[in-house]
Structure 1
Amino acid sequence: MTSPATSILIVDDHPVILRGFRTLMEDVGIETIHEATTIVEAYRAFYRQRPGMVLADLTFGAHGVTGLSLIRRIRSLDRRTRILAFSMHDDPTIVARALESGASGYVLKDAPTSEFLRAFDEVRSGRSYIDHDLALGVAMLNANTGQSPVSTLTERELQVLSLIKDGHSYRTIADKLAMKYKTVVNMISAVRRKSGAQNFAELVNIAMAIKD
C-alpha cells in the first residue's frame, strides 16, 4: 500500500473555509500544510513545495470551474500526487470532469465532516473516493452518452454558462473573463449549438438546470 501523504496543499478562495480545513488537517496529524487562494498561487505553491496531496475547490469567484485546469496541471507535473476535489457542484457532468482531469476523489462542501474525513483518508492512502449517489449519477451519465446537454462543453464554455445562469450580460461576462465581447458572442453561439438550445431562453433554462 502507498504510504499516506504527510504534506498537503489546500486551495480555496474563502479564508473561512481555508481555516476550517486547516483545523481538520491539524487534528488528523498532517505535518505540513500549505494554502493558496487563487489558481496561479496554488500552482506556484505546488511547484515549489511538491506536497503529497492537494485539496482543491473547483470554483473560484466569477471564474467558474477553473479548479479543473489546476487539477490537470498538477497531474501533468506529478502523476503521483493525490488530489481530492471539493465543491458545491453535484452535477454529474462536473463530477465526471473532475475525475477525468485527474482527481482521485470528489466530495461536496456541504457533506458531513465524517464523510469529508473518510474521503480524505481514502485519497491520502492512494485509493479513490466518491459518494454513492454521485458515483451513480456519473455512471448513468456514462451509460447514456449525450444525456446531459452540457456534457460536451469545454471548461471555458462551462464558465460562460455559469455566468449566464447568474444573470450577467455579455459585456459583463467579457469583463469578468478578460475576453473580447465578440469572443463571448461566438462562444455563446457555440454553447447553444452544443447544448441543443434553440434560442437564448432555452439556453438560460439549461444553465439554470445545472446544480450548484
Structure 2
Amino acid sequence: MNDRVKVLVIEDHPIVRDGCQRIFNRRPDIEMAEAVSAVAGLARNREFAPNVIVLDVGLPDASGFDIIPELLADNAHAKVIIFSMYEAPSFVTCALEKGAKGYITKNDDPNAILKAIDKVLSGAVYLGQAVAQHLAMANLAPANDPLRDLNDRERQIMRLLGEGKSMTEISVQLALGYKTVANAVAAVKQKLRITTSSALIKFAVELRTKT
C-alpha cells in the first residue's frame, strides 16, 4: 500500500497496546493512535479519522460490540477489526452483524493483525485462524451456542455471573453450598477454556449484553 494507513487501537491493556505498536513499527506505512475506553475511542475516532479501528470487546465502560455502530456512523469509511481474547463463534457472528470486517484473537500469530488490516482495506472480511476453526466446527455442531457443553446448573451459574452476582450470592439464590458453586465455576472455566475467574465473569457479562 502506497498511502499511509491510520489505525486506531481501542484497548484498555497497556501491554496489548504496546504490542500493537511494536508490530505496526515493522510497517512504515502504518500510523497508530490509541484509546483506553469506549468514550475515549469514540472521541479519538472523530479526531483521528482512522482507516482501520482495532477494537477490544471487554472495555472498562462498555462492550466493544455496542460501540461499533457509533464508530461507523462517525467514520463511515473505517474498517473495524475486533481484537479479543474470546473465540466463541457467536461472538464472531455478533461482530460481523454489527458491522465489523475482521475478527482476530490474542492467541493468533502476531502477524495476523497486519494480515487483517491489509485484507479489510482490500474490501474483504478477515477471520483469524483460531476463530475460523471454531466457526467451522460450530457450523458442524447441532447449535451455534458457546454454552452448548454446559449442563443446566452451569448455565444457571453463567447467567447469574452475567447479572453481576458473586459466588456467595449465587450459592444463596440457588440453595447450593459455596463449594458446589466454586466447583461448578471451575468446571465451566475448563469447558470454555477460560483460565481466570475475572475472564469468565467478563465473558458472562458480554454474552448477556449481546443476547
- In the superposition, the TM-score normalised over structure 2's length comes to 0.65
Q: In the alignment, which residue of structure 2 is the partner of 1:47? A: 46
Q: 1:41-190 counterparts in 2 under 5 A?
A: 41-61=40-60, 66-132=63-129, 134-138=131-135, 141=138, 146-148=143-145, 164=161, 168-169=165-166
Alignment coverage as a number of residue pairs: 174
Q: In the alignment, which residue of structure 2 is the partner of 1:182? A: none
- Equivalent pairs: percent with the same residue? 24
Q: Aligned equivalents of 1:207 and 1:162: distance in 2?
A: 12
Q: Aligned equivalents of 1:68 and 1:148: distance in 2?
A: 18
Q: Against the structure 1 CA distance between its residues 167 and 46, is the aligned structure 2 distance closer, same or farther, given a 3 Å change threshold?
A: closer
Q: Which amino acid aligns with 1:80?
A: H
Q: Against the structure 1 CA distance between its residues 171 and 97, is the aligned structure 2 distance closer, same or farther, given a 3 Å change threshold?
A: farther
**1:150-181 deviations in whole A, cap 9, x for unaligned?**
69xxxxxxxx9588179842999xxxxxxxxx
Q: Which moved more, 1:46-55 or 1:77-86?
A: 77-86
Q: In the alignment, which residue of structure 1 is the partner of 2:17? A: 18
Q: Which moved more, 1:36-45 or 1:52-61?
A: 52-61
Q: Against the structure 1 CA distance between its residues 137 and 16, is the aligned structure 2 distance closer, same or farther, given a 3 Å change threshold?
A: closer
- Contact 2:2 2:29 (8 Å CA) reproduced: no
Q: Against the structure 1 CA distance between its residues 54 and 164, is the aligned structure 2 distance closer, same or farther, given a 3 Å change threshold?
A: same
Q: Aligned equivalents of 1:101 and 1:150: distance in 2?
A: 21
Q: Aligned equivalents of 2:163 and 2:186: distance in 1?
A: 12
- Contact 2:88 2:146 (8 Å CA) reproduced: no
Q: Which amino acid aligns with 1:89?
A: Y
Q: Against the structure 1 CA distance between its residues 142 and 71, is the aligned structure 2 distance closer, same or farther, given a 3 Å change threshold?
A: farther
Which has the bigger relative contact order, CA under 8 A and spacing at least 6?
Answer: 1
Q: In the alignment, which residue of structure 2 is the partner of 1:181? A: none
- Contact 1:164 1:207 (8 Å CA) reproduced: no
**1:188-207 deviations in whole A, cap 9, x for unaligned?**
xxxxxxxxxxxx99x96997
Q: Against the structure 1 CA distance between its residues 39 and 145, is the aligned structure 2 distance closer, same or farther, given a 3 Å change threshold?
A: farther
Q: Aligned equivalents of 1:104 and 1:24: distance in 2?
A: 20
Q: Against the structure 1 CA distance between its residues 166 and 88, is the aligned structure 2 distance closer, same or farther, given a 3 Å change threshold?
A: farther
- Contact 1:56 1:84 (8 Å CA) reproduced: yes
**1:99-137 deviations in whole A, cap 9, x for unaligned?**
111111111112122233222321233322113552353
Q: Which runs of 5+ in 1 are unaligned?
A: 152-159, 173-184, 186-199
Backbone CA RMSD of aligned residues: 3.8
Q: Against the structure 1 CA distance between its residues 132 and 49, is the aligned structure 2 distance closer, same or farther, given a 3 Å change threshold?
A: closer
**1:13-51 deviations in whole A, cap 9, x for unaligned?**
011211111122122124532110000000011012211
Q: Which runs of 5+ in 2 are unaligned?
A: 149-156, 174-180, 195-211
